[in-house]
Amino acid sequence: MRPADNLLHRLKELNEIGIALSRQRDINSLLEIILEAARRITRADAGTLYLHDPERRELRFEILRNDTLNTVMGGTSGVPISFSPIRLYDEAGHPNHAMVVSHSVLSGEAVNIPDAYRARGFDFSGTKKFDARTGYRSKSFLAVPMRDHEGEIIGALQLINAQDRESGAIVPFSKDDQQLLESLASQAAIALTNHRLIAQLEQLFEGFIKLINKAIDDKSPYTGGHCARVPVLTMMLAEAASRTARGPFKDFVMTDSDRRELEIAGLLHDCGKITTPVHVVDKATKLQTLFDRIHLVDTRFEVLKRDAEIAMLSGKRGAGGVARGGVGEAANRAVYEARIRQLDDDREFLRCCNVGGETMSEEAQRRVRRIAAYKWRDADGVERNFLSEDEVENLTICAGTLTAAEREIINHHIVVTINMLESLPWPKHIKNVPEYAGGHHERMDGKGYPRGLTREQMSVQARVMGIADIFEALTAKDRPYKEGKTLTESLTILGRFKENGHIDPDLFDVFIREKVYLDYARLFLAPEQIDEVDLGKIPGVSLDP
């Protein structure tokens, strides 16, 4: 091949290498491509790629190859490099110009040595000892620094023993070799810098996610725990669906990018709760605001008991203050004691009502209203109903601890979540995060919120997150207003949700068939919650193989 044709071929090869570098995303593979490309275009028998550690002021071995000695170390080989890093400065702070690669990095220039055994100005004693031990002959050296777009040296390439293309003999590296390697080093530095910048941006983004969740956690540890567990369960169910080889999800697959996208959505699915008032998020009892108002009700009961005692003592004295006795006094005492028992019973009843539950009977609600009609006098002597309208509304909440207005406040968090996420300029590979995160309160029958989407309008990932959000809430043992339910209780409720169109029926089947619930339970549930589940008694469960 004529020299001109050979150079043209190598330039074309260099261009192809640049394209390959721009496409590679794995750092180890990228480093290997750089070194192997450098060796290929220069016909080098051996080579090493170093990365610069500016804090330690040293060069760290990353990839090492030697064809003659059949040495493959670092990178994707899985074989660690045992050599110590090359110090750029000694203990006294003097620069290390004795070694070829360190001199190249310190000077910022390429170093081309035809024969190491005849070279002056460099310390090749270590090289000669290596050759004596292995039988290798290190001859020609070429070291080139790698500079980023700001001129900072981020690493270096060192090649050993150029081979003649015709005879295979060891020859010096040519000027063309040096120029081509310098060009490749420049392209490699850009590729490495881009990779680092992308990694740093991803780390920054992950830091913002953690920052948001930490803010929510500091505001409400109950919500913080939920934000940490839902992504885990979401990924468990999504992976189970992607493993399914039959049925509706036989074609559902996820790439690594898809997994990352869904994980981010899981981490941010409740980010809107950062705006929700903490006294609503953490409302442990029906009468809780900034504090539990049941204690105010207790005080009123004491006032009524005091009034009953005063009435009893007044009746005991009779008209004109004359003491009464006999049957009249006994009857008066009986009335008083009956009144005290009734008030104690009513107080205990309201305390029970103050604790949220799944249902509250109509009879219990009517009794609350009867008690509310009791009269008492406040500190100003004004006669009032025993319970205010707001207290009656709270104490007669049918399920949970939230009033309709408070539930609207809670529900609004998903609107805030969607608005927050849709306002961000998401990159193409994670552009579906707002849709996945914003759909976890929708229902398959279109009765969910905030958009009333139906199953057909939702992605599989959003439907997965809906089940994960519900099951985590049912089993969570760190809520202030309830205890964590057992597996049987939680699956029973989830099965009913399948039957009434709340959750995706096919994903529920995967959840049961792949025992996702059990895998999750082993990670997060207390031992007493993990009971023996009889799937034959769980609503919506199909036991067909």
Question: Could you write out the three-class secondary structure of 27-62?
Answer: HHHHHHHHHHHHHHHHCEEEEEEEEEECCCCEEEEE
**pLDDT attached to residue 321:** 47
For residue 247, the one-letter residue type is G
Question: Could you write out the three-class secondary structure of 141-155?
Answer: EEEEEEECCCCCEEE
**pLDDT attached to residue 185:** 83
Q: Is 3 a residue whose pLDDT tops 70?
A: no
Between 220-224, 234-238, 240-244, 254-258, the lowest mean confidence (pLDDT) is in: 220-224
Contact 287, 352 (CB under 8 A): no
Q: In the chain, where are the structural domains located? A: 3-198, 220-282+405-537, 294-399
Question: Could you write out the three-class secondary structure of 245-270?
Answer: CCHHHCCCCCCHHHHHHHHHHHHHCC
**pLDDT attached to residue 385:** 93
Q: Across residues 407-418, what is the average pLDDT?
A: 88
pTM for the predicted model, two decimal places: 0.71
Q: Look up residue 181 and give its two tokens.
A: 């390697």
d(CA 354, CA 284): 9
Q: Is 322 a residue whose pLDDT tops 50?
A: no
Question: Could you write out the three-class secondary structure of 399-463?
Answer: CECCCHHHHHHHHHHHHHHHHHHHCCCCCHHHCCHHHHHHCCCCCCECCCCCCCCEHHHCCHHHH
Query: What tens digit of pLDDT does each residue of 148-191 get?
Result: 878 889 899 999 999 998 889 999 999 988 988 888 888 778 77
What architecture is domain 3-198? 2-Layer Sandwich (3.30)
Contact 130, 136 (CB under 8 A): yes
pLDDT class for 274, splitting at 50, 70, 90? Answer: confident
φ, ψ for residue 244 (rounded to 5)? -65, 125
d(CA 533, CA 488): 5
Q: Is 217 a residue whose pLDDT tops 80?
A: no
Q: Across residues 220-246, what is the average pLDDT?
A: 87
Q: What is the dihedral of CA 82, 88, 94, 95, to 10 degrees?
A: 130
Query: What tens digit of pLDDT does each residue of 43-91 get?
Result: 999 999 999 999 999 999 999 999 999 999 998 888 999 889 999 999 8
CATH topology assigned to domain 220-282+405-537 = Hypothetical protein af1432 (1.10.3210)
